[in-house]
Structures are given as C-alpha cells and as structure tokens.
Copies of this chain bind each other. A is one copy, B any other.
Amino acid sequence: MTHAACDHDHHHDHALDSNGIEARLAEAQALCLAAGERMTAPRLRTLELVLAHNGPIKAYDLIDRFHPEGAAKPPTVYRSLSFLEQMGLIHRIESLNAFVACHDHTESHSAAFLLCECCGKSEEVALNLSGITQKALESDFKVERVTIEAKGRCKACR
C-alpha cells in the first residue's frame, strides 16, 4: 500500500484467498450466462485482478499486472472494466479514478463508499437515497445515477 499518511501498519486485511476469488469468478460467470453476456478471458482476468486487490485499484495498475510479463494495452483493460461495471460486478470510484469489486449483489443499485485516505481501502454501504431523491423531485430533475463517496479514516487507521 502506498497510501500511508501515517506510520502504523495496514494489515487489517480481508483479502480474498484464491478459493474465495475462484468462487467469486464462478458466480460472475454464472451471472453473465444468465444475462446472455459473454465472460471472456480478458474480462475474467480483469475481474480476478480487481478481486485480488484489497481495495480500489487503478486502471493502470491492472494494465501493469494483466500479463505475467509485460503490460496489457489500455483499451483491453478499459473495455473489460466498462463491461464489468455494466454487469454490476465492479464499481468505479469517481473521486479516486479507481475500481473496486462490488460486494453487495443484492440491492437496488446505489451503493455509497467509505474511502480510507490512510490505508486506501473502501467499504461499500447500502444507502437510502431519500435526501437526494427529494431534492431532485423539487427541481423536477430525473436522476439516473448517484455517486456517493465519503473520504476519511477507517476504524483501523483512526
């Protein structure tokens, strides 16, 4: 982790082990199958790298890690990321220019994120959108997507 604005260690990890990743990849494949979409090799590889990283990861880090030796070309990864995002398998974090695996497949698509500026990890929380929905209504504004990102310090980094 290259985030350290502090001196403590950042090993309060929940990283998925390889079994966990395999399981998530299998779920993702099933989901695509059900949706009539193709989970191709580069898409799967991209998702694997996102899952393996413990927190939001940058597109160019994915590009660097994509092949055992040498980097991928940017469009390969960016196209995969777009697809995965459309499928609801990952989220883009706007305020970080980064991507994180979706951890809440259940809900009505509007997640919020708690982003630790110290350790770089994120927590996805389901949020009631009533506030912004109400304001939009008052302005006769039709909301399509909502981005909610809170930056600060997580429990372990306080």
Query: Which residues of B have CB within 8 Å of A85?
Result: none
Q: Does A48 contact B (CB under 8 A)?
A: no
A146 to B135, CA, bound (A): 17
Closest chain B residue to A96, Cβ basis: B94
Task: Report the count of interface residues on A (CB-CB < 8 A).
Answer: 34
Are A148 and B151 also in contact (CB < 8 A) when A114-B135, A127-B132, A140-B158 are? no
The answer to whether B148 and A142 touch across the interface, beta carbons within 8 angstroms, is no
Q: Does A145 contact B (CB under 8 A)?
A: yes
Q: Does A95 contact B (CB under 8 A)?
A: yes
The answer to whether B135 and A117 touch across the interface, beta carbons within 8 angstroms, is no
The answer to whether B147 and A95 touch across the interface, beta carbons within 8 angstroms, is yes
Report which A residues bind B (CB closer than 8 A).
94-95, 112, 114, 116-117, 123, 125, 127-132, 135-136, 139-155, 158
Closest chain B residue to A135, Cβ basis: B125
- What 5 new A-B contacts, CB under 8 Å, besides A112-B135, A123-B141, A142-B158? A131-B131, A140-B158, A144-B150, A144-B152, A146-B151
A146 to B149, CA, bound (A): 6
Query: Which residues of B have CB within 8 Å of A150?
Result: 132, 136, 141, 143-147
Question: CB within 8 A of A94: which of B125, B135, B141, B147?
Answer: B147
Query: Which residues of B have CB within 8 Å of A112?
Result: 131-132, 135
A1 to B140, CA, bound (A): 21
